[in-house]
């Protein structure tokens, strides 16, 4: 049976008030990974083939060199509507997604999300308004907790006909940059590593979150944040392009290794 999710006002409020990360995960201060490396990794085609990652990286490095990358992320962080968000990210993602006009399921082979159906187009529009208003009000929460809550809510609303994943990931990067510019690459890499093992843990955590239990999502992201700290030195271009792409291959392998299914 398909699972239709309404994304109620109460659930959105709970995502922001109840999602709390475990304490004590260190953010590395001894390694500087340029932001373009992290944002290029967020584009879903970067892990299709290494040459696509290289193409995305070169484009994001160029945006950074022309002082376009960070301002675009800042505009995304400050966006108050879906239209403002997609317009802010267009130069980074290469896409300005349009709001969908009908119900939609998640295109995935993952058993935890295959039957997920997002809210209707009307419900999605209403939920999107609630998402942005909740983001503005939650000033007392940790910036990264708010970023993760926004991420799971935006993916659950699934407001666009296409580009939901890359938009949600780039908004997370924008929130991470606003929270802690130095730590933004590690925080962003942790989001990528949250989907390791072909996303099984993330999809299960998202399923739990949609029932109102956000603890697994918080735990999985905290674990991914520690793992990101270990990978970060390999993504420093100062060591040269070969070392950077060796680090890319290690992350690529980790993302694509799927554990044996338990169900």
pLDDT in tens, 198-255: 888 898 999 999 999 999 999 999 999 999 998 888 887 666 788 888 888 888 888 8
Give the largest CA-CA distance in the chain.
51
Q: Which helix (H) or strand (E) holds 117?
A: strand 116-117
Q: Is the pLDDT of residue 24 over 80?
A: no
Residue whose pair of structure tokens reads 């296409």 in the numeric block = 162
Q: How many angstroms separate the first and last alpha carbons of the chain?
A: 17
Q: Give the model's confidence band at 177: pLDDT under 50 very low, under 70 low, under 90 confident, else very high.
A: very high
The answer to whether the CB of 224 falls within 8 A of the CB of 232 is no
Distances (CA, A) of 85 to 21, 136, 156, 259: 26, 14, 17, 35
Model confidence at 261, pLDDT cuts 50, 70, 90, reads: very low
Per-residue pLDDT for 258 more than 70?
Answer: no
pTM above 0.95, yes or no: no
For the chain, domain boundaries: 3-250
pLDDT bin (cut points 50, 70, 90) of residue 178 is: very high
Q: Mean per-residue pLDDT for 252-260? A: 76
Query: Which whole number is the average pLDDT over 61-89?
Result: 96
Q: Could you tell me which residue, 120 or 118, shows the higher pLDDT?
A: 120
**Considering only 80-94, 107-121, 128-142, 171-185, which range has the smallest mean pLDDT?**
107-121
On the question of pLDDT at 105 being above 70, the answer is: no
As assigned by CATH, the class of the 3-250 domain is: mainly alpha
What span, in angstroms and rounded, lies between the C-alpha atoms of 27 and 230?
10
Joined together, the tokens standing for residue 92 give 């980074």
Distance CA 20, CA 260 (A): 29
């Amino acid at each position: 049976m398909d699972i239709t999710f309404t994304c109620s006002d109460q659930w959105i409020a709970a995502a922001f008030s109840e999602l709390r990360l475990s304490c004590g995960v260190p953010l590395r201060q001894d390694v500087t990974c340029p932001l373009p490396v992290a944002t290029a990794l967020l584009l879903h085609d970067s892990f299709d083939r290494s040459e696509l990652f290289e193409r995305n990286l070169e484009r994001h490095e160029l945006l950074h060199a022309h002082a376009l990358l960070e301002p675009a992320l800042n505009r995304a962080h400050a966006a108050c509507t879906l239209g403002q968000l997609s317009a802010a990210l267009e130069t980074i993602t290469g896409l300005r997604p349009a709001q969908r006009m009908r119900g939609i399921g998640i295109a995935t082979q993952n058993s935890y999300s295959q039957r997920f159906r997002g809210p209707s187009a009307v419900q999605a529009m209403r939920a999107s308004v609630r998402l942005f208003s909740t983001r503005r009000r939650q000033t007392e929460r940790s910036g990264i907790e708010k970023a993760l809550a926004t991420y799971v809510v935006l993916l659950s609303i699934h407001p666009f006909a296409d580009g939901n994943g890359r938009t949600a990931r780039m908004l997370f990067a924008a929130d991470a940059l606003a929270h802690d510019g130095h730590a933004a690459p590690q925080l962003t890499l942790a989001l990528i590593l949250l989907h390791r093992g072909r996303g099984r843990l993330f999809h299960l955590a998202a399923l739990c979150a949609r029932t109102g239990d956000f603890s697994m999502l918080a735990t999985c992201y905290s674990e991914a944040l520690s793992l990101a700290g270990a990978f970060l030195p390999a993504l420093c271009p100062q060591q040269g392009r070969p070392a950077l792409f060796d680090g890319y291959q290690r992350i690529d392998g980790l993302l694509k290794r799927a554990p044996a299914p338990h169900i």
